[in-house]
Amino acid sequence: MHLGVDSFVSAVTDPATGHLVGPEERMEHLLEEIELADRVGLYSFGIGEHHRPEYYDSAPPVILAAAAARTSRIRLGSAVAVLSAADPVRVFQQFATLDLISKGRIDLVVGRGSFTEAFPLFGLSLADYDELFAEKLELLLQIRDSERVTWSGRHRPPLTGQGVYPRPLQDPLPIWVGVGGTPESFVRAGLLGLPLMVAIIGGEPRQFGPLIDLYRRAGAQAGHAPEKLQVGLHVFGFVAESTRAAADTIYPGWHEMFEKVSRERGFSPPSRAQFDATSGPNGAFFMGDPDTVAEKLVRIAGQLGGVDRISLQMTNPRLAHADLLRGIELLGTEVAPRVAASA
């Protein structure tokens, strides 16, 4: 089971000084974080895609290109690319180019996104939410499988045999499907034989077991080999010297993030008790000292029938750069070896 980090590149206010880290400084911090993840042996680093003022990740391929030029081993990818709001031709071209720059270290994780700002921004209707993704995923896969493509659909002009360039170093370019909790999404990924990245942001991870089983059954029934049906998890997490330190470091920013989302969506405001429960042994947050986080990673992976990779999403608007660097270091030097030893 491989471990990595995902980032939404949130705007950050330093908790000690109250200094608002500007976009230029935040990008430099981000590249330092990715370089450190590479040095300490983590398997992957993913960049999300949002079109909101509190995040600086609206152009993931640009960030990933800078990261590819400053790293040598770590796999780099999207977490996730909002394919519904993009042109599959351009998405493929961008990530194929990234694959060449990185010498074959790119994973393209595509999804519909958990926020909706991209749809009006790019002139799309939320009424077409699922159809957009299904159609564009179909085209993306055709482009991956064939240099020249003949295709037509509702949401993009047809292709009549044009070539799509460049071609990536990896053949085929790894394309994962990012999913939430919709059974149809798990089935679709299984039928297509695509690896699955499951976003777990609440509840208990073991509750996703039946959905992952559904994915594997759909894939098997479609004739796909078990080794093609990889499963990854995208989860909130943080590692510190102690479990209490991890929780106290992360909670202020977590409360700020989820209070804003709760207001937007009409939910009750989050509480510390809710945070602590979700950070507990069976909760969705992987929070604590290295032993606690490693044990939970191994246990949850077993409950889900085996997991190929887990990425800890450490975005937090009140997390100091130094604390985040230490969390990445502990994940790579302390947690990852414990997880590997348990295999």
Question: What digits encode the pLDDT tens for the residues 3-55?
Answer: 999 999 999 999 999 999 999 999 999 999 999 999 999 999 999 999 999 99
Domain annotation for the chain: domains and CATH numbers = 2-342 (3.20.20.30)
Six-digit token string for 61: 């391929």
| pLDDT higher than 90, residue 215 | yes
- What is the DSSP-derived secondary structure letter of residue 281? T
Check residue 176 and give its pLDDT.
98
Check residue 189 and give its pLDDT.
98
Question: What digits encode the pLDDT tens for the residues 227-248?
Answer: 999 999 999 999 999 999 999 9
Question: What digits encode the pLDDT tens for the residues 108-153?
Answer: 999 998 889 999 999 999 999 999 999 999 999 999 999 999 999 9
Question: What digits encode the pLDDT tens for the residues 76-107?
Answer: 999 999 999 999 999 999 999 999 999 999 99
In percent, how much of the chain has pLDDT > 90? 93
DSSP letters of 214-252? HHHHHHHHTT--GGG--EEEEEEEEE-SSHHHHHHHHHH
Where does residue 296 fall: left (phi above 0), alpha (psi -120 to 50 degrees), or beta otherwise? Answer: alpha
Question: What digits encode the pLDDT tens for the residues 322-342?
Answer: 999 999 999 999 999 999 999
Element (H, E) at 157: none
Verdict on whether the full-model pTM lies above 0.85? yes
Mean pLDDT of 184-197: 98
Q: How many C-beta atoms surround the C-beta of residue 65 within 10 A? A: 17
- What is the DSSP-derived secondary structure letter of residue 306? -
- What is the DSSP-derived secondary structure letter of residue 332? I
Nearest to 64 by CA among 77, 74, 81: 77
261 confidence band (pLDDT: 50, 70, 90): confident
d(CA 287, CA 238): 5
